Structure 1
Amino acid sequence: MNGYFQLIYEDGVTKLQVFPPTNGGEAANLSEIVEYLSSRNIAYDNRALHSLVGRAEPYTAIINNVTGLEERENYKLMVSQDKMIATVRFYPPSVNGGKMTKREFIDDLNFKGIKFGIQEEEIDKYFENRRFCEDIIVARGKEPRHGTDAYIEYYFNTDLKVKPTLKDDGSVDFFNLNTINHCHKGDVIARLFPEDVGEAGTNLMGERLKPRDVKKKMLKYSRNVTLSEDKLTMISEVDGHVTLVDEKVFVSDVLSVDNVDNATGNIEYDGSVQVRGNICANFSVKSKGNIEVQGVVEGAFLEAGGNITIARGMNGMNRGILRAQGNIVARYMENTTAIAGGYVSSESILHSTVQAGTEVTVSGKRGFITGGRVCATNTITVKTLGSPMGVDTIVEVGANPTTKTRIQELQKEIMEATKVVKSVQPILTSTQQKLAKGVKLSPEQIQYMKSLIFLNKEKTKEIEEKMAEMDGLQDFIGNMSGACVNVTGVVYGGTRVCIGDLSMIIKSEMQYCKFIKMDGEVKMTAL
């Protein structure tokens, strides 16, 4: 038991007796004694109090020369900040004071707002065997049981980062990429595991505590898919292949053609497209799945919801465009614009504009980037960068290319909204001056002014929101870490290397190097 103290009123004085702890309990605390006396306006002699603590035997001292009213047994209540735990420390009555009953104590707790989670067993233990100056948990709230988010298991490969294999001779196998997920009729291709909403809790005051919100999900799918009766299982209706685009499952046969030319016209297909030959200039192929071309692509437009694979490469003729939500893999790209949500892989990139959501890898026998602009969010790895002839070549990492595009859009939108605000404010100011002079407005003028006030408010709010978004994007670009450019061969002078919001122009030829952002600069280190 902890040590404790007790008041004694006798012979016209007030005494305090302190009892030592037993069986390893804590000794009576001087600050707690002072707090107890002060809360009851009982005067005390400071030196007398100091003489009471730290003794091994019970000890009594006179603390003042006045006799007060007898003190009843009492307690100090402590409620946790989250209102989930109530702890008390009981104090004994004065020698002739009255004792508290269990009913009185519980009623007092209720009066103080503690209505839920009363620990009657602990309270009974105390009243059966009183333990003073000891923390006792007398009420405990019920924590909410937090549920879990719904999730979907896909029984096929959803990773769009499958990369081509590097052969022993140093070339890259762009033909056998294994990027198609084959499925058969009756295959289970996805299963939904519903959300668990959890259970509400209650704090000591009886207030309901909501569990955290959970995310719901549903199976999204296109044609050739059947859902089970409980809507939790997705089954393929055909033999073909399955892809996942924006959380939506597509199952379809592969559309296979010899060439894309005058015989076929433009192609737009919900599934994947396989071209066994070439795609001629000025034609387009749009697919919600993958596009695989076993021949050459000329100045055409290709757009895929998945990956684009071109086994023999592309000469874009300065008008060809590749756009994929997944990856782009081509043996070479010349005078081409390529935009990938995932990575871009090639043996050579010449005078092209390339944007990759993750990384760009230019390897193989040639492995060069010469001319144009190549951008990636994370990493660019290349064997030869730039040209000994000083052709303008820019490589950029450290921010998703779409982020910078969004910043440019925001700057334009902020400028336009600011023009509107500047044109409206003089009118509002002039009208306010007229009203101050007592000029009355017609109902039409009043309605017009209301519309201007609303427009000014909306545009001002729009400017604030877009400024906040732009600041966040710029901070993200500035804080981008881990982005780098790896040169496994040689980089030529005149090449510009950009990382985030910083850039560096290579002055002279260097080999086997790595460019990173360090100490507010673009720096070169050994590879």
Structure 2
Amino acid sequence: MADLFLRISDDGQSVLFAALPGHESVPTRALLLEQLHILGADSFYLFEKAIDSALAITVQDAELEAVGSDLPSIVIAERRNASLVVKAEPDFMRASITVTAPFGGAPLTGSDILEALKQNRIVKGIRKTQLQQLLEQTQQLSPGEKLTLPIAFGRLPEHGRDSRFEALVEDASHRILKPQASDDGKVDMRDLGELITVKAGQPLMKRIPATDGVPGFTVQGKVLPAKPGKDNEFQPGEGTVICDHDPNLLLAEQSGIPVRKPRGMQVDEALTLTGVNVATGHINFDGSILISGDVTPGMRVSATGNITVAGFVELAELKAGGDISIIKGIIGRKQHDAKLACTIEAKGNVTSKFAQFAEITCGQNAQFTLHVLHSVIRAEGEVIVMDQSKRHGSLSGGITEAGYSIRTVNLGALAGIPTVVNAFTKFETLQKQVQDKHRDYQLEIQNVEKIRQAQLKLLKLPEHKRPAELSERIQHAAEQHKTQITYLEADYQQLRDEYEELRSRVMITAVNRLYSGVQSRLEKETLLIDQDHGPSKLHISEQIFQCTPL
């Protein structure tokens, strides 16, 4: 039997190497590993350099015996308990534990984990399921193997929501965008329901009050305060009134046509007509107009309020101080002088099923559910050509300009019909606002510098020659201008940030197909589409106007 070179220490925590005099065999690494197994210590932590040293010492055995020296004992392995390290992310929103499996020592226990978390001040968001999983998985690890698991999670604050306003009745534009379903569940794009009117006392809108939000926390228990929502009040329009017993309910004060506003409704007394034709003549009305039929070729309709047409508008002219809603569609015709004979102009929104060979201008959004063909659209807001399902909606030919984004299902046409789309036409106005605010900020800086120079001149005078009243006035002016600088700098920074954020979000989108022949522009950048694409978006990314898959 080979000589035994190893033994367990008296405390059982380590393995010692001792090449005693009289050993006949020469130890090798393989022999030492075999003897570790015999001692039941093959899972101990090995000191590799100590083993090398032990093997080297055996070469000197004869010399040590010759001088009567004791051969040294060397610790080549030791028992190590499981260890763990707790690490929190810099923002303390998550903490993880890295466990090193034991080398023949005590395994990890739940109390070990809890004590480590306590020592590292991890007190919130600890997941019991993660703790259990960590304990179970560490039991399956090989000696020295490491395992890292997240164990505690912070929670970001849920900021409060601003007051919201939920309409309880639809208006004409919403009815166009939401065709009626029949009994068998199918949607008939020709059936858009009856025209919407309300009666006096009917609820129109409810206000959902702002919420305070829910505070968050870090894994170290620091409270992350939530920003409360802004509590906006109703802005009742004409023909509406806030309910006496419920301040969160807006009622109709009179019968008429409901018109939705951002923070309220209004009810217009309407001129109701079955149609506009040569029999009625041109219409010019101070208020809103409800036309249950068509507006026939050559007719003009003007209203200071809204215009709602249940039928078609063909080769006619409509002008409204509010919204224009045309349920069935807008039909024009290209004239010999290249002008379009059907014109629609609204200070608010324009909504219709389709438009072809028409010129449409609006102060807010233009939205169509079926198609826009060979038309000129100029909208201060967005231009949207798609239904709610995003299955229908084609924009081809003509020129479309939007203050912000343009969204459609199909942009252009298979035949490569030239289609011009210009988005974010509001950029010059917004840039000017930023530049004007920056100019005001710079002027205030110059004013402060002038006051500082005046103060320096005043200080050069002998104290008895300095008018006390003048010194006070200069000091007061300096403080005022410094305060103004603070406000202007904050306003400028906010405007600039809002512009950059808006610039990153504005785009031209084709959710199904983008065809060749589309000439696009966003801000001052232009891009010609020379081949067909699938779902795509045209946007500015890293200062480059580009087409990327949606």
Q: Taking structure 2 as the reference length, what is the TM-score of the superposition?
A: 0.49
Q: Which moved more, 1:459-468 or 1:194-203?
A: 194-203
Match of 1:364 in 2: none
Per the alignment, in what secondary structure is the counterpart of residue 337 of structure 1?
strand
State whether structure 2 residue 474 is matched by structure 1 residue 445.
yes
- Contact 2:157/2:226 (<8 A) preserved: yes
- Contact 1:305/1:326 (<8 A) preserved: yes
State whether structure 2 residue 29 is matched by structure 1 residue 6.
no
Q: Deviations over 1:417-445 (max 9, x none)?
A: 25624642541452464477577661111
Cα deviation, residue 293, structure 1: 6.7
What are the equivalent positions in structure 2 for 1:79-90 lying under 5 Å apart?
79-81=86-88, 82-83=94-95
> Aligned residues: percent identity?
10
Match of 1:358 in 2: 383
- Contact 1:158/1:243 (<8 A) preserved: no
Question: Against the structure 1 CA distance between its residues 409 and 498, is the aligned structure 2 distance closer, same or farther, given a 3 Å change threshold?
Answer: same
- Contact 1:146/1:198 (<8 A) preserved: yes
Quote the Cα distance in structure 1 between the aligned partners of 2:328 and 2:445.
51
Aligned partner letter, 1:178:
L
- Contact 2:302/2:320 (<8 A) preserved: yes
Quote the Cα distance in structure 1 between the aligned partners of 2:531 and 2:373.
19
Q: Deviations over 1:307-340 (max 9, x none)?
A: 6776566999999722443525675666763455
In structure 1, which of residues 63, 84, 89 is the aligned counterpart of residue 74 of structure 2? 63
Cα deviation, residue 446, structure 1: 0.6
Q: Deviations over 1:464-488 (max 9, x none)?
A: 33333334444556x7675998589
Match of 2:192 in 1: 178
Match of 2:524 in 1: 501
Question: Against the structure 1 CA distance between its residues 447 and 237, is the aligned structure 2 distance closer, same or farther, given a 3 Å change threshold?
Answer: closer
Quote the Cα distance in structure 2 between the aligned partners of 1:409 and 1:255.
41
What are the equivalent positions in structure 2 for 1:134-213 lying under 5 Å apart?
161=177, 176=190, 178=192, 203=219, 207=221
In structure 2, which of residues 345, 353, 367 is the aligned counterpart of residue 321 of structure 1? 345
What are the equivalent positions in structure 2 for 1:25-424 lying under 5 Å apart?
45=50, 47=52, 62-63=73-74, 76-81=83-88, 82-83=94-95, 113=121, 161=177, 176=190, 178=192, 203=219, 207=221, 246=262, 256-257=272-273, 265-268=285-288, 283-287=302-306, 292=310, 294=312, 297-298=316-317, 300-304=319-323, 311=330, 321-325=345-349, 327-328=351-352, 337-339=361-363, 341-343=365-367, 349=375, 353=378, 357-359=382-384, 369=398, 374-375=401-402, 377-378=406-407, 381=412, 395-397=420-422, 399-401=423-425, 403-404=426-427, 406-414=429-437, 416-417=439-440, 420-421=443-444, 423-424=446-447
Q: Which runs of 5+ in 1 are unaligned?
A: 35-43, 52-60, 66-70, 95-99, 126-130, 164-174, 362-366, 387-393
Per the alignment, in what secondary structure is the counterpart of residue 178 of structure 1?
coil
Question: Against the structure 1 CA distance between its residues 291 and 76, is the aligned structure 2 distance closer, same or farther, given a 3 Å change threshold?
Answer: same
Quote the Cα distance in structure 2 between the aligned partners of 1:122 and 1:295.
68
Cα deviation, residue 86, structure 1: 8.4
Cα deviation, residue 283, structure 1: 3.6
Quote the Cα distance in structure 1 between the aligned partners of 2:474 and 2:364.
53
Quote the Cα distance in structure 2 between the aligned partners of 1:232 and 1:276.
39
Aligned partner letter, 1:257:
L
Aligned partner letter, 2:272:
S
Question: Against the structure 1 CA distance between its residues 274 and 9, is the aligned structure 2 distance closer, same or farther, given a 3 Å change threshold?
Answer: same
- Contact 2:17/2:75 (<8 A) preserved: no
Question: Against the structure 1 CA distance between its residues 196 and 255, is the aligned structure 2 distance closer, same or farther, given a 3 Å change threshold?
Answer: farther
Q: Deviations over 1:64-84 (max 9, x none)?
A: 69xxxxx99976342242347
Q: Which runs of 5+ in 2 are unaligned?
A: 1-11, 21-31, 57-71, 89-93, 137-141, 180-188, 334-338, 387-395
Q: Deviations over 1:4-25 (max 9, x none)?
A: x9336899x9xxx999799xx9
Quote the Cα distance in structure 1 between the aligned partners of 2:227 and 2:342.
51
Quote the Cα distance in structure 1 between the aligned partners of 2:342 and 2:195.
33
Question: Against the structure 1 CA distance between its residues 214 and 407, is the aligned structure 2 distance closer, same or farther, given a 3 Å change threshold?
Answer: closer
Aligned partner letter, 2:489:
T
Question: Against the structure 1 CA distance between its residues 92 and 135, is the aligned structure 2 distance closer, same or farther, given a 3 Å change threshold?
Answer: same
Question: Against the structure 1 CA distance between its residues 180 and 356, is the aligned structure 2 distance closer, same or farther, given a 3 Å change threshold?
Answer: farther
Match of 2:493 in 1: 464
Question: Against the structure 1 CA distance between its residues 499 and 318, is the aligned structure 2 distance closer, same or farther, given a 3 Å change threshold?
Answer: same
RMSD between aligned residues: 7.3
Question: Against the structure 1 CA distance between its residues 268 and 416, is the aligned structure 2 distance closer, same or farther, given a 3 Å change threshold?
Answer: farther
Q: Deviations over 1:175-198 (max 9, x none)?
A: 947276769999999999999988
Cα deviation, residue 453, structure 1: 2.0
More strand by share: 1
Cα deviation, residue 274, structure 1: 5.1
Question: Against the structure 1 CA distance between its residues 83 and 111, is the aligned structure 2 distance closer, same or farther, given a 3 Å change threshold?
Answer: same
Question: Against the structure 1 CA distance between its residues 161 and 457, is the aligned structure 2 distance closer, same or farther, given a 3 Å change threshold?
Answer: same
Cα deviation, residue 374, structure 1: 4.1
Quote the Cα distance in structure 1 between the aligned partners of 2:283 and 2:149.
85
Quote the Cα distance in structure 2 between the aligned partners of 1:298 and 1:105.
77
Cα deviation, residue 463, structure 1: 3.2
Match of 2:9 in 1: none
Aligned partner letter, 1:465:
Q
Quote the Cα distance in structure 1 between the aligned partners of 2:453 and 2:332.
65
Quote the Cα distance in structure 1 between the aligned partners of 2:197 and 2:373.
32
- Contact 1:306/1:324 (<8 A) preserved: no
Q: Taking structure 1 as the reference length, what is the TM-score of the superposition?
A: 0.51
Question: Against the structure 1 CA distance between its residues 106 and 513, is the aligned structure 2 distance closer, same or farther, given a 3 Å change threshold?
Answer: closer
- Contact 2:198/2:258 (<8 A) preserved: no
Question: Against the structure 1 CA distance between its residues 305 and 291, is the aligned structure 2 distance closer, same or farther, given a 3 Å change threshold?
Answer: same
Match of 1:39 in 2: none
Quote the Cα distance in structure 2 between the aligned partners of 1:511 and 1:28.
68
Quote the Cα distance in structure 2 between the aligned partners of 1:133 and 1:115.
28
Cα deviation, residue 377, structure 1: 1.7
Match of 1:427 in 2: 450
Cα deviation, residue 63, structure 1: 3.4
Question: Against the structure 1 CA distance between its residues 114 and 244, is the aligned structure 2 distance closer, same or farther, given a 3 Å change threshold?
Answer: same
Quote the Cα distance in structure 2 between the aligned partners of 1:502 and 1:138.
48
Q: Deviations over 1:384-423 (max 9, x none)?
A: 978xxxxxxx9333x344x425434425524642562464
Cα deviation, residue 303, structure 1: 2.0
Quote the Cα distance in structure 1 between the aligned partners of 2:508 and 2:174.
27
Quote the Cα distance in structure 2 between the aligned partners of 1:146 and 1:448.
42
Quote the Cα distance in structure 1 between the aligned partners of 2:258 and 2:431.
37
